[in-house]
Structure 1
Amino acid sequence: MLTTMSEQVTNTHSQQTWFTKFKTTLASSLLLLTTSQTIYADESLGHFSQTYTPQQILADISQWENFLHSTHPNLAHSVENIDDFYTQLDSLRSSIKTPMTGQALWRELAKLNATMADGHLSFDDGKNAQWRAWIKDGVQLFPLEVVVNNQGLFVKSTLGGDANTYQGKQISQINGIPASTVTEELLQRIEGDNLAFRQALLSRRFAMTYRLVYGTKENFNLKFKDEDSTVILNALNQQPESIQSKPFEHYFNLQMLDNKQAILTVKTFGWDEPKKYFDFMAEAFQQLNANQVEHLLIDISENTGGDDEYWMAGILRYIAQKPYKQGSGYSAKILAKYRDPGEVVGTVVNGSLSRMIKPETDKSKLFKGQVSVLTGPLTYSSAVLFANTIQDHQFATLIGTPTGGRSTQSGGIQFLTLSNTQIRAVVPRFILARPSGNQQMTPVQPDIELTINPLNKAQTLADALSHSSKL
């Protein structure tokens, strides 16, 4: 989901609006890949199933490295030890001696994802549309939806979302391998700013990531914690819940409660019919005022990002009562396609967002009640910028867990499809600090911390409403 920074950037090189130039995207396979690949026979994963020569692979690695250095403004933003990063890259390059499948190569390239530690900086594991096509052609996957967290690996439902007998049980082994070993292997290849985000992202993509790392399996021998017996489950030819096409109401809905409270769920800041979204928001806030709602909980705990305009014109328009901006200092690499007069391609420009966005002048449209915003480990990209703005301007109270992304976010993502292997890479070209100017490299911290139960969303919402009512 793209996040467009619509603020005007003030610097000595340019006075033009960077609305089309600043884009913050969850560089993950949840939302991004747009290339189409040839679909092969049953149990084929397109370009991942093809075999490539060492020469082809090494050429692709060089292509990616050149792209990385010509695009990213400062790798040290997220890479904790830059020397270790280059050592890892050199070791990878030296290890390429024989032909490899795209799947085997991805397993090695994706180990850099955790090292790079940025959800906008990664090697992709395939777009949702590709996986839907591969599954339609017969690919079978691990049969359960799961939750990965610090406590372990838990069953959420059957793959696809249907209820399951084993829901809530903790998996201790998969095919004789300790679940902790499996999740560690998979997490090594998941992108993200922090462990909580990578765990949440892996929870959504477990079946697909497992398929890429461990290969195809006809069945799975599972053991559960504190149980001696083994359960055998067949692989399923079923779309995981995270890649299923969902209706508008799944992402955006307003729930009116009977105690002068309401919940506004916003799972993304983007939609392919913008007018439908903005009309919905206008009607939602009109309904809130008409019903004299005293407290609104805005749930962005599963919002992985989008276009800033969706929360500026769709939410802050109705709750902001003073001028605001969504960022402060930035660092950006100048690319040829974005170059303004006087700018040198390849250089890094530092500046600040200075233009303040004015609040709605029609006071009748402003929401008159109290506002809380629920954050979680999947709150990322533009949703982090929304949380920054809400907190720094005191438009609402943040409640929940720390966000999945750093308060200081990267963005302006650029895409590269490697010429030979067709593996997709994502690299950001700018870094933006929160409106307060604080260069915060940790997640956005909620004003009220609340444990989120990934197996019981209704309980999480009830807890959030209960805490908010005490403000």
Structure 2
Amino acid sequence: MKYFFTLIALCFSFHPIFSQEKLKYSVDEVKADLDFLYSTLQDTHYNLYINTPKNEYDIAFSELTNSITDSLSLLDSYRILQPFTALSELGHCTFDLPFARLYGNYINEEGKLFPLNIRIENNKAFLTHNLSSDSTLMIGSEIVSINGKPIENYISEIHHYLSGENSYLKDTFFDLVSFPRMLWVLEDIKDSYTVKVRVDDKSISSHKIQAISALEFETEFSKVPQIFDNRRTFKIIDNIAYLKPGPFMNLESSGNSSEIETFNTNEFKNFVDSAFLKIREGKHNQLIVDLRNNSGGSNSFSDQIIAYFADKPFKFCSKFEVKTSKITKEFWEKVEDTQNKELKESILSHKNGEIFTSDISLNQPQADSLQFKGKVYVLINRYSYSQATVTAAMIQDYKFGTLIGETTADVPTTYGAIHQFELPNTKISVSYPKAFIIRPNGNTELKGTTPDIKVTPNRFTEKDEILDYAIEFIKKDI
């Protein structure tokens, strides 16, 4: 049975689309979208009020409704409606961000961006890319303020805009989206900025820098390695089998959770089967499964890997509860996969708004000669998202392997299994979680998967500390 945990980053599309969008939406149109947004989230979301009580949501709805007194552009509509959605404080309850629909036109119109990119660590901002003409701004410097505004205020405002269970998760979005792009979403870009920076905890210096064209930013930033690695990789390192499965979805599909083709496992199965055949032929007894920088996907993919080294039956969660609704049913009416027959029948047979527990069948270990009986080591980091962090938690809870790396930002006990709906006027797509999924060990806390062995990487170097540590540890663990 397939359960899809769509990565939050699916909402972040940076392929510029040059399209003609409506210039303004009337007061009535925006208010109608807000009404539809709130009522539909209440109807479809498993538990919209798990983190923010209904009375607080109602107050926010009333205040936001009263604040809409003039027509709004699509970007301004995003700016007021997404923070309302983000009140849920759940990563799977969110808007698609406006890049796909608006960013291409912004580039074409010679729009500008802030020229410095940053990374957030412990509520501090550190410079990662300097595209300004000021070469004295050094990578790794701490950004203290921008135009006199403390950087903490910017971080707080962006956290307010983003959906997510915790600040740690939201901080990873700075890396996924980039600060210059995110700043464009939040506010109109200025021609120049005064930036104050601190180097090595020493004195603060002030720098005046000019905004750069968005096209220049994209040209330069395209040369930077992307956070999510969509490649599937198998190789041997010092006689240790290394498997990086890539995202748990069909790479030949669009990745949209509302499209059935996203769940086609044929290509993935061929890759996994081939990898374990080579492991058997090479008689390798140590296996690294690298789940770092993984955007997630469906357990129907990840379960195929675990089955190769599991020594007992397993399932990806201890409990899976689903809330059904009209919109959820509209999706499942189109599902024809026989593996989903029982879940489909349950969703369609229950009344809208009802919550039911879905039976999760146990997956059996591989019974053939390809089963791996050696030691398994799993690499994780803050970018092990969605089904990647769920998979790591499964391996940890069933004691199938040893986790090495840093705590994941995303959480294995989660409100997930998302679907989408569209606002009637602005046509903004909204994701909502229809299910509550509890990790195999029964822990209901919404916190990341913690490694058995913690390794903190230095993000300002090219060195791969986590992989290097794992290889040396495995050599000693033989």
Aligned pairs (5 A) from 1:307-386: 307-313=298-304, 315-335=305-325, 336-337=329-330, 338=332, 340=345, 343-363=349-369, 365-386=370-391
> Cα distance, 1:62 vs. partner?
0.7
The answer to whether the 8 A contact 2:17-2:100 is kept is no
The answer to whether the 8 A contact 1:128-1:243 is kept is no
The answer to whether the 8 A contact 1:30-1:242 is kept is no
1:73 counterpart residue number: 46
Q: Deviations over 1:309-361 (max 9, x none)?
A: 22122x21322232111123222122333463782331323224342111111
1:268 counterpart residue number: 247
2:430 to 420, 425, 428: 425
> Cα distance, 1:437 vs. partner?
3.2
* Residues in 2 aligned to 1:266 and 1:109: alpha-carbon distance in whole angstroms: 36
> What secondary structure does 1:415 align onto?
strand
Q: Deviations over 1:64-91 (max 9, x none)?
A: 11211111122234x2444323322222
Aligned pairs (5 A) from 1:24-423: 24-28=5-9, 30=11, 39-40=19-20, 46=21, 50-77=23-50, 79-126=51-98, 128=100, 131=103, 134-135=106-107, 138-157=110-129, 166-205=138-177, 206-225=179-198, 226-230=203-207, 232-236=209-213, 237=215, 238-239=217-218, 251-258=231-238, 260-273=239-252, 275-313=266-304, 315-335=305-325, 336-337=329-330, 338=332, 340=345, 343-363=349-369, 365-423=370-428
- 2:275 maps to a residue whose letter is A
Residues paired across the two proteins, number: 437
* Residues in 1 aligned to 2:18 and 2:104: alpha-carbon distance in whole angstroms: 13
1:13 counterpart residue number: none
The answer to whether the 8 A contact 1:377-1:403 is kept is yes
* Residues in 2 aligned to 1:130 and 1:293: alpha-carbon distance in whole angstroms: 50
Q: Deviations over 1:382-428 (max 9, x none)?
A: 12321232122111112223322333222232212212223222111
> Cα distance, 1:256 vs. partner?
3.0
* Residues in 2 aligned to 1:429 and 1:302: alpha-carbon distance in whole angstroms: 25
**Structure 2 stretches lacking a partner, 5+ long:** 253-264, 333-343
> Cα distance, 1:211 vs. partner?
0.3
> What secondary structure does 2:171 align onto?
helix
> Cα distance, 1:197 vs. partner?
0.9
CA gap of 1:193–1:284, structure 2 versus 1, over 3 A, is same
**Structure 1 stretches lacking a partner, 5+ long:** 1-5, 7-18, 41-45
- 1:251 maps to a residue whose letter is R
The answer to whether the 8 A contact 1:289-1:368 is kept is no
> What secondary structure does 1:413 align onto?
strand
Once superposed, what is the RMSD of the aligned Cα atoms? 3.4
Q: Deviations over 1:160-199 (max 9, x none)?
A: xxx9973222222333432222222112111112111110
* Residues in 2 aligned to 1:165 and 1:383: alpha-carbon distance in whole angstroms: 36
* Residues in 1 aligned to 2:93 and 2:136: alpha-carbon distance in whole angstroms: 35
CA gap of 1:361–1:132, structure 2 versus 1, over 3 A, is farther
CA gap of 1:210–1:246, structure 2 versus 1, over 3 A, is closer
* Residues in 1 aligned to 2:164 and 2:96: alpha-carbon distance in whole angstroms: 12
* Residues in 2 aligned to 1:63 and 1:103: alpha-carbon distance in whole angstroms: 18
Q: Deviations over 1:409-457 (max 9, x none)?
A: 2223221221222322211111111223333332223222332433346
Residue identity over aligned pairs, in percent, reads: 25
Bigger Cα displacement from structure 2, 56-65 vs 452-461: 452-461
The answer to whether the 8 A contact 1:119-1:191 is kept is yes
* Residues in 2 aligned to 1:69 and 1:283: alpha-carbon distance in whole angstroms: 45
> Cα distance, 1:286 vs. partner?
3.2
* Residues in 2 aligned to 1:296 and 1:410: alpha-carbon distance in whole angstroms: 31
The answer to whether the 8 A contact 1:327-1:353 is kept is no
CA gap of 1:373–1:109, structure 2 versus 1, over 3 A, is same
CA gap of 1:188–1:410, structure 2 versus 1, over 3 A, is same
CA gap of 1:182–1:349, structure 2 versus 1, over 3 A, is closer
The answer to whether the 8 A contact 1:28-1:191 is kept is no
CA gap of 1:312–1:98, structure 2 versus 1, over 3 A, is same
The answer to whether the 8 A contact 2:11-2:95 is kept is no
